[in-house]
Amino acid sequence: MIQWIENGEECAAVWRSESGWPAPKKIVLADDTMNADTAYRLALDGTGLLWRGDFQNARQLLQALVRRLDQKSDRNKRKAPKPAATLTEQFHRHRLAQLQRARLLAMLLIPFDADYTIPLRRAPDVKQACNEAYGAGSEPFVASLRELLGLIGAHEWRRKGVFIPALDERIHPWYGVFSPVRGEYVELVAQAPLPAQATLAFDIGAGTGVLSAVLAHRGLQGVIATDMDERALGCARANIERLSLSDQVEVVQADLYPEGRAGLVVCNPPWLPGKPSSAIEYAIYDPDSSMLKGFLAGLKDHLLAHGEGWLILSDLAEHLGLRSREQLLAWITDAGLEVAGRHDVRPTHPKASDADDPLAAARMREVTSLWRLRVA
């Protein structure tokens, strides 16, 4: 719950945060009369600003807070340089700065009625975006404006979809399910030679279902796509149905592997070992590399004779000092597997060539690989 004083009375509402942020302990009411400097100082102090003014002015205030954070970052860069940090230290500093930035910007709060109406002047109709992300509404609540904007953005991605050249179709990601915007890993799966006589494939951690769709498009008679997340399962099923692939692809809830064996097992685990700070980060960070290790450890028992396991993995973690190539190869060997081949591709997303990115030194050396694994 979140509590505040309004018109001399104690008020309360349900607190909602998909990022897992705790409710601010102190709340003040804010409206069009509050200037950006005051809002910035309050947010910096951990005070939530419950907005009662014009909705569009709240968006402008959020932009003003972003500008102040950017100005602070620029001032810090101009200060006397700190001792040279390793790439690992740079990564942890960058991630901490991102978390602090996200926490401050989450202090601007918006009220919602039970049916997802926003009781503010000039507020947009966000009912469909909220229903897609949260499910059916049941009671009034308070959430951050920044989270709401994320929901609206996710709704647009879901509506428009992401074009996948290998399918000549669009995949429509749901809120909280990692979008296949980095197409190089999809192309690896679309082009790698299929194992001889493979007719059934497992897609471990299917997400949007894009790799299952690519495998079915390549002629696999059957694909079993697994995931544990309810949103991912719903998203994958919707995409598979939209692409008219339901006869070939079955989406099931499973912790990594379904029952049985297949001639091809594909897995695209989160690429960075680390603790996720929000639901969406589970597609990026793999705590203690548990999904990666689980996939490797179980692969031998789920492959048919002469079958292959395809591990799609970036080496960014290696460049950041979060995992070594020797560790990865040792896990492969310890699982009773051997490397039958590897296909590499350089990322083409904008950050890969952005010299101003805080992790540019690592991103510019990144390679995404499809490791073809067999039972040793």
**CA–CA separation, 309 vs 298, rounded Å?**
10
Tens place of pLDDT for every residue, the chain, 376 residues? 999 999 999 999 999 998 888 999 999 999 999 999 999 999 999 999 999 999 999 999 999 999 999 888 777 766 655 666 788 988 888 888 888 999 999 999 999 999 999 999 999 999 999 999 999 988 999 999 999 999 999 999 999 999 999 999 999 999 999 899 888 999 999 999 999 989 999 999 999 999 999 999 999 999 999 999 999 999 999 999 999 999 999 999 999 999 999 999 999 999 899 888 776 677 889 989 999 999 999 999 999 999 999 999 999 999 999 999 999 999 999 999 999 999 999 887 766 667 777 787 888 889 999 999 999 9
Residue 182 DSSP one-character state: -
**CA–CA separation, 115 vs 138, rounded Å?**
7
Return the C-alpha torsion angle 226, 227, 228, 233, nearest 10: -100
Phi then psi for residue 309, to 5 deg, are: -110, 130
Tokens representing residue 343 in the block: 């296909």
Q: Give pLDDT, residue 124.
A: 97
Three-state SS letters, 126-180: CHHHHHHHHCCCCCCEEEEHHHHHHHHHHHHHHHHCEEECCCCEEECCCCCCCCC
- The owner of tokens 């492959």 is 303
The set of residues, in sequence order, having a beta carbon less than 8 Å from that of 367 and lying 6+ positions away, is 314, 315, 344, 345, 346, 347
Sequential DSSP letters for 312-356? EEESHHHHTTSS-HHHHHHHHHHTTEEEEEEEEE---SGGGG-TT
At 309, the amino acid letter reads: G
Neighbours of 208 (CB within 10 A): 26
User: Is the C-alpha dihedral spanning 124, 125, 129, 130 positive or negative?
Assistant: positive
**CA–CA separation, 130 vs 76, rounded Å?**
38
Contact 229, 252 (CB under 8 A): no
What is the side-by-side order of every strand in the sheet holding 108-112?
2-6, 9-15, 141-144, 108-112, 47-51, 26-30
Q: Give pLDDT, residue 78.
A: 67
Classify 282 in phi/psi space as left (phi over 0), alpha (psi -120 to 50) or beta.
alpha
Q: Give pLDDT, residue 82.
A: 62
For 284, counting Cβ atoms within 10 Å of its Cβ (0-12 exposed, 13-18 middle, 19+ buried), the class is: middle
Q: What structural domains and CATH numbers belong to the chain?
A: 2-156 (no CATH), 161-375 (3.40.50.150)
User: Across the chain, where does the E strand assignment appear?
Assistant: 2-6, 9-15, 26-30, 47-51, 108-112, 141-144, 162-164, 169-171, 200-204, 222-227, 249-253, 262-267, 272-273, 285-286, 303-314, 337-345, 368-375
